[in-house]
Amino acid sequence: MIQTVETTAFLQNLFMIAITAEAMTAAIAAGRREMDWVGVCLLGCVTALGGGSVRDVLLGHYPLTWVAHPSYLLITGGAALFTIAVARYMHKLRKIFLFLDAVGLVVFTVIGCNVALNLNMPVVVVIASGMITGCVGGVLRDMLCSTIPLLFRAELYATVSILTGLLYVGGLALGLDHDIVTGGAMTIGLALRLLALRYGWSMPKFVYGKESR
């Protein structure tokens, strides 16, 4: 039996950084689709908070994160609108935002696992909860922008989330120190995501066309 865990102050601080970065990258996607300011704001909020919201609805975990903490809406919406003012400089910060996106993926995954653990869910549900928290916000963003979600492409994204969740839950099941398990799982997951970006690692693609018949 894995004991319930609380989100540490360190994780909470990383979470705030991650939702801000996610909202800003979503604003750029909105700009590419020529959305108005309301669309930019909404897309930023949905991308940053959507994964956690879907997780909470599926697990029956209420109130939703942004309902319990309305300031999250102000932070993510404000970050998205701020992006409009600094959009001309965003291309210079691309690598930084790729890094922050990778950080957000592993942070959201661990937080999602924590929520399911505290609800005494089975291990498979805990891992799924982590992946939903880490990945679904991006899926919602891509769907609203009419593009194939990153989760369904060959990039190592969901795979990284699943691995991070497995390492985290596995470490806790072995009774290891929570801080060590958290740091180790996030470091390995982050390293894998960054290496995948650097070297173009991807999962095998399923290609079906005339030549496959």
Tell me what pLDDT residue 206 has. 75
Cα distance between residue 126 and residue 165, in whole Å: 8
| Between residues 37 and 148, the one the model is more confident about | 37
For the chain, give every domain's residue range: 9-202
**Alpha helices, DSSP H only, in 119-157?**
123-144
Q: Is omega for the bond preceding 63 within 30 degrees of 0, making it cis?
A: yes
- 145 within 8 A of 30, measured Cβ to Cβ: yes
Tell me what pLDDT residue 91 has. 83
Tell me what pLDDT residue 150 has. 76
The pLDDT of 128-149, averaged and rounded, is 94
Cα distance between residue 121 and residue 84, in whole Å: 41
What is this structure's pTM? 0.92
φ, ψ of residue 2 to 5 degrees: the values are: -90, 130
Strand, helix or coil for residue 202:
strand
57-to-53, 70, 139, 146, 161 alpha-carbon distances in Å: 6, 17, 16, 24, 20
The pLDDT of 174-196, averaged and rounded, is 95
Q: How many CB atoms lie within 10 A of CB 41?
A: 23
- Please report how the helices 158-173 and 123-144 are oriented relative to each other, as an axis angle in degrees rounded to 10: 160
Residue 199 pLDDT exceeds 70 = yes
Residue percentage of the chain with pLDDT more than 90 = 78
Tell me what pLDDT residue 191 has. 97
Average pLDDT, the chain: 91
Cα distance between residue 26 and residue 69, in whole Å: 21
Tell me what pLDDT residue 5 has. 66
Write the pLDDT tens digit of every residue in 91-132: 888 899 899 999 999 999 999 999 999 999 999 999 999 999
Write the pLDDT tens digit of every residue in 15-44: 999 999 999 999 999 999 999 999 999 999
Least confident of 76-85, 96-105, 176-185, 203-212: 203-212
Sign of CA dihedral 166, 168, 169, 172: positive
* Stated length of the chain: 213
List, in order, residues 6 or more apart from 136 with CB less than 8 Å away: 50, 51, 54, 55, 151
Residue 1 pLDDT exceeds 60 = no
